Chain A
Amino acid sequence: MRRRPNTARAPFAPLVFLIALISGWSVASSPETSPSPAPGPLTLPKSTWTRERQALHLLNRAAFGPRKEDLAEVLGIGPSEWLARQLEPSRVPDSALEKRLREFPVLSYPASRMYEEFPRPEQLAAARGIKRDDPDARERLRELIPPEKRPREIDRQMTAQKLLRAAESKRQLQEVLTDFWFNHFNVSMEKSHTRWLAPSYERDAIRPHVFGRFRDLLGATARHPAMLFYLDNWMSTRDGLSRGDLLLAAAGEGYPRLLRRLEARKALETTEEAARSRLGLNENYARELLELHTLGADSGYSQQDVREVARCFTGWSMGRPRGGPSRLRDAEPGTFVFRAAAHDDGPKAVMGLAIPAGGGIQDGERILDFLARHPSTARHLAFKLAQKFISDAPPAPLVEHLASVYLETDGDLSRVYRALFSSPEFWAEEAWLAKTKTPLEFTVSAIRATGAATDGGPLLTKELVQMGQPLYRCQPPTGYKETADAWITPGALVSRMNFAVSLASGRLYGTELPARSRNEEPPGSLESEVDRLALQILGRPLAPATRAIAIEKLARNRAPSPGAPDGSSTETIIALILGSPDFQKQ
């Protein structure tokens, strides 16, 4: 018996909770939002699997693949205790990694400081009085900005820290979930300002909430400038608002000269100009909020609902960097601001929920409350989690079970993860090696399996681009797909095989195998050497067909002629294992 009776709590939590959420909630919510104390080790279903297999399976899914030390730990304390610790990452010391992360200052800058540290070229040109039609403008700007202050540096630090954390953090589940939820609430650094805001987005909006309540995660993304900018909500206003009125309202009393200038300007505006400067509703965020972040596609909302939700979020905006086109001075650049003047304060109705007039910023919060508690959201999130951790087509009863846990616990994500990892489906024969690794999982698991040391540097990042997964640069708000069909294409597969060869042969600058595993004469027979390395890297024997092909070819390659390089070296065997179909699965 596994299904819990549905009696503990009604799907919609008591009103007290709602009020608490609305009133006590702020953007800078601390990581300690998890509402329930750690409930200790998980009760896992009885398994016929060996302890090794259980440990491998767990590390394949709840981590970025097995690594020698982690495997030993799971075998030592058991999967249940390992999971309990992972679900409460503050219990897992990670100081070695934390020390390394100090190399990446973007991780500590508040969003507003990012623009100072990494000036936008246009901004700097304005500040230094460089005329933009000056033919040498580009050159002069390049001279002014040292390489470590160029926007590209943000990308370098972000991708490197992500790869390092994935490969080396002891808090593996936290890294897996940070990746999962960033992808769920995707923003792309490809879209101008998002680049400056992404470090704060991951640090402040995603990471602190992945073990907390979904409502907190949802709220933090909704208010974060990276999301406001990426999905255009920052510019969404009530229909018909004129630019002049918005500027006037936002200029604030601290800027009397600016106010006077704006007023003078507005008085001179012709009706035609005024008509042209009308602002209005932008539905992008509202649509993706319903379709991707919460309810899921085809869950019964209409275009009219999208519009109503968009009206609720009018005025949710951000401070823009100085030197940019905006004269709005009501907020620090890169911080959230609610512009009451831009908000549509009329009554709204969303999927039967009435939002009375005059709610101001609470309109949006009410929508988020409503969506976070909706059964469609529960099912949508349950499906995505099951697809991520179990199989591309997860069993429907499990999805239903996870959805009910979500509703019973008012969206307590840790409780949903616990239900997932203690489900018989997670430990079922059908789940074993059922997932195909994404490029990120493939690359990082290869590093972990071989015990390679990496700096997460540009060569590694480039490999991921070739495999189709440029980090932080997934263009559409859907995020990257979780299913095998999205990743296994001819171009990408060739890149995977080439990555295996590069890594094994030491040609991936910045990522190196431990010295002993390279260029070492196989001590025993070819067969025993292949089996030994397969066990070390995969944690299991190669599939019979793969093994036979590998051994046959290797035997043929062994010292083809005197003096020629040996084509059956340890290096070759490692390359073959990492590039094999077997290693693509987890």
Chain B
Amino acid sequence: MNRRELLRSSGIVLGGFGLVPAIARAALSSPASSRRKTLVIVFQRGAADPLSILPPHGEPLYYSSRPAIAIPAPGKGDGAALSLDSTFGLHPALSALKPLWDRKALGAVISTGSADPTRSHFDAQDYMETGTPGRKSTEDGWLNRTLRALPREGRSPWRAVSLSDSTPRSLTGREPSVSLPRISTFRLSGAQGTDGTFESMYLSAAGTALGPAASETVDALALLRKENVLAIGPENGAAYPSSELGQRMRQIAQLVKSGIGVTVAATDCGGWDTHLGQGSSRGQLANRLEDLGNSLAAFATDLGERLADVATVVMTEFGRTVRENGTRGTDHGHGSVMLVLGGPVKGREVRGTFRGLHPANLYEGRDLPVTTDFRQVLSEILEAHLGIRDTTEIFPGYIRSGTSRTGIV
């Protein structure tokens, strides 16, 4: 019996939402459901600068290419990078992530991206979210196809959720998902007399074209109320930034901790298109990174032990030029970086192939090349975390090669 049938047969849906039979309560909080694995995707829209996230302080060309905006090498005073290894450091604004790095709960893959050469934000995001670089007409997103590859057993109406203004491309497709700017907006506005009426009407419409989605909706509403998700607060002293991203991560944690059945969650954050006045240890980009770092760190703290069940991937559409431009910023580049937090991550290591910054080793003489396809990283995570071995339907046309494994998980 799946969750929905259980709800239905226990009369929760049709007869008010107050009384939950003990058997239903037990089933809903069984170990099986609490050990559910969750994949969270945080998309940095606008192309985040990989060489500021992981400044390659061991590479002299880094400093000559970026006289005004490089991050000082570790130990070089105020605002210096935090040392990760002999080549890479971590931007000081990401210091909240350093403890997670040190305990191997955070890892990175450098020089990642899409095989398609486009430098259009729009197209590159589209290609990444559909999982089909170079092909514009793919209708559904890779996260939606991921849902299709998972067992149908025990699915929750909340198994795919995005905290965003509209459904991201990655989640569009046949499998139902819930997209909302805030969880608190997912309720029926309490006008006099409509409470519960819509739910009953839509359940009665089962068997029409509205049927499946109608009951999904009613279940989603009922579950949200029953699990009292909105009342779940941050734990372990987690302090989320009040920013949009911080609050979205807080709500993803709420959903995960409620046991409501989230398998895939997506959200995004903007402000990464730093063409001018990018800043160095402080400034425009540093502010974005601080928000990202503090949001992710609070998320990890809040989840506590559950972090092992929740893998979070931070990705962006492409990187930025190695050399700073005439306006102390960087322009659209190619290869970038992916961060992986929690879940099965093998952290405390910068993985992938970094070829240095000599122009001869750069893409078109100016950008980090893509030495690891983003689909490679995602495929490894899908396998290790969600148990999906065959990703040919999720990334059609992409052939994983055994030798290019990053080992990030």
User: Which residues from chain A sit less than 8 Å from chain B, CB to CB?
Assistant: 131-135, 137, 188, 190-192, 231-232, 272, 276, 284, 287-288, 291-292, 297, 392, 436, 465-466, 468, 470, 475-478, 481, 484-485, 488-491, 493-494, 497-498, 501-502, 504-505, 543, 545-546, 549-550, 553-554, 557, 565-569, 571-572, 575-576, 579-581, 584-585
CB within 8 Å for A291 and B201 given contacts A276-B364, A465-B166: no
CB within 8 Å for A549 and B201 given contacts A476-B126, A567-B193: yes
- Contact check: which of B137, B169, B194, B220 meets A287 at CB < 8 Å? B137
Q: Is the CB of B137 within 8 A of A549?
A: no
* Cα separation A553 to B135 with both chains bound (whole Å): 51
Q: Chain A residues with Cβ under 8 A from B166's Cβ?
A: 465-466, 468, 470
- Contact check: which of B138, B167, B216 meets A468 at CB < 8 Å? B167
User: Which residues from chain B sit less than 8 Å from chain A, CB to CB?
Assistant: 120, 122-123, 126, 130, 135-139, 157, 165-167, 169, 174, 176-180, 186-189, 191-194, 196-198, 200-202, 204-205, 208-210, 213-214, 216-217, 220-221, 275-277, 327-329, 364-365
Q: Is the CB of B169 within 8 A of A475?
A: yes
Q: Is the CB of A475 within 8 A of B191?
A: no
Q: Is the CB of B197 within 8 A of A488?
A: no
Q: Is the CB of B217 within 8 A of A133?
A: no
Contacts A/B (CB < 8 Å), 5 sampled: A137-B277, A232-B123, A465-B166, A475-B126, A581-B201
- Contact check: which of A134, A476, A575 meets B137 at CB < 8 Å? A476
* Cα separation A192 to B122 with both chains bound (whole Å): 8
CB within 8 Å for A288 and B214 given contacts A489-B178, A546-B201, A549-B204: no
Q: Is the CB of B210 within 8 A of A488?
A: yes
Number of A-B contacts (CB under 8 A): 169
Q: Chain A residues with Cβ under 8 A from B204's Cβ?
A: 543, 545-546, 549, 581
* Cα separation A192 to B46 with both chains bound (whole Å): 13
Q: Is the CB of A493 within 8 A of B202?
A: yes
Q: Chain B residues with Cβ under 8 A from A581's Cβ?
A: 201-202, 204-205, 208, 210, 214
* Cα separation A543 to B176 with both chains bound (whole Å): 26
Q: Chain B residues with Cβ under 8 A from A546's Cβ?
A: 201, 204-205
Q: Is the CB of B136 within 8 A of A491?
A: no
* Cα separation A353 to B166 with both chains bound (whole Å): 44
Q: Chain B residues with Cβ under 8 A from A131's Cβ?
A: 327
Q: Is the CB of B137 within 8 A of A137?
A: no
* Cα separation A476 to B123 with both chains bound (whole Å): 9
Q: Chain B residues with Cβ under 8 A from A579's Cβ?
A: 194, 198, 201
* Cα separation A291 to B139 with both chains bound (whole Å): 13
Q: Is the CB of A491 within 8 A of B180?
A: yes
Q: Chain A residues with Cβ under 8 A from B197's Cβ?
A: 549-550, 553, 576
Q: Chain B residues with Cβ under 8 A from A465's Cβ?
A: 165-166
* Cα separation A576 to B196 with both chains bound (whole Å): 11
CB within 8 Å for A489 and B176 given contacts A135-B277, A191-B120, A565-B192: yes
- Contact check: which of B174, B192, B205, B277 meets A485 at CB < 8 Å? B174
- Contact check: which of A137, A232, A490, A568 meets B217 at CB < 8 Å? A490
Besides the contacts A489-B217, A545-B204, A579-B201, what 20 more A-B pairs have beta carbons closer than 8 Å?
A132-B327, A134-B277, A297-B137, A436-B209, A475-B169, A476-B130, A476-B139, A488-B213, A489-B179, A490-B213, A491-B167, A493-B202, A501-B194, A557-B192, A566-B192, A567-B193, A576-B193, A579-B194, A581-B201, A581-B214
Q: Chain B residues with Cβ under 8 A from A571's Cβ?
A: 191
Q: Is the CB of B120 within 8 A of A497?
A: no
Q: Chain A residues with Cβ under 8 A from B214's Cβ?
A: 488, 493, 581
Q: Is the CB of B201 within 8 A of A550?
A: yes
CB within 8 Å for A478 and B194 given contacts A465-B165, A468-B166, A584-B210: no
- Contact check: which of A188, A392, A488, A497 meets B188 at CB < 8 Å? A497
- Contact check: which of A132, A489, A557, A580 meets B201 at CB < 8 Å? A580
Which residue from chain B places its CB closest to the CB of A436 in the assembled complex?
Answer: B209
Q: Chain A residues with Cβ under 8 A from B137's Cβ?
A: 287-288, 291-292, 297, 476-478
Q: Chain B residues with Cβ under 8 A from A549's Cβ?
A: 197, 200-201, 204
Which residue from chain B places its CB closest to the CB of A297 in the assembled complex?
Answer: B137
Of A190, A287, A501, A565, which is in contact with the most chain B CB atoms at under 10 Å from its CB? A501
Q: Chain B residues with Cβ under 8 A from A191's Cβ?
A: 120, 122-123
* Cα separation A566 to B192 with both chains bound (whole Å): 7
- Contact check: which of B122, B138, B200 meets A190 at CB < 8 Å? B122
* Cα separation A48 to B179 with both chains bound (whole Å): 44
CB within 8 Å for A493 and B136 given contacts A272-B365, A550-B197, A567-B192: no
Which residue from chain B places its CB closest to the CB of A468 in the assembled complex?
Answer: B167
Q: Chain B residues with Cβ under 8 A from A232's Cβ?
A: 120, 123
Q: Is the CB of B136 within 8 A of A284?
A: yes
Q: Is the CB of A137 within 8 A of B201?
A: no
- Contact check: which of A137, A292, A490, A572 meets B193 at CB < 8 Å? A572
* Cα separation A392 to B210 with both chains bound (whole Å): 13
Q: Chain B residues with Cβ under 8 A from A291's Cβ?
A: 137
- Contact check: which of A484, A490, A553, A585 meets B178 at CB < 8 Å? A490
Kindly provide the distance from the CB of A102 to the nearest chain B CB, expressed in whole angstroms.
31
Which residue from chain B places its CB closest to the CB of A498 in the assembled complex?
Answer: B189
Which residue from chain A places its CB closest to the CB of B202 in the assembled complex?
Answer: A581
CB within 8 Å for A133 and B178 given contacts A490-B157, A553-B193: no
Kindly provide the distance from the CB of A521 to the nearest chain B CB, expressed in whole angstroms.
14
* Cα separation A489 to B172 with both chains bound (whole Å): 10
* Cα separation A584 to B193 with both chains bound (whole Å): 20
Of A131, A288, A488, which is in contact with the most chain B CB atoms at under 10 Å from its CB? A488
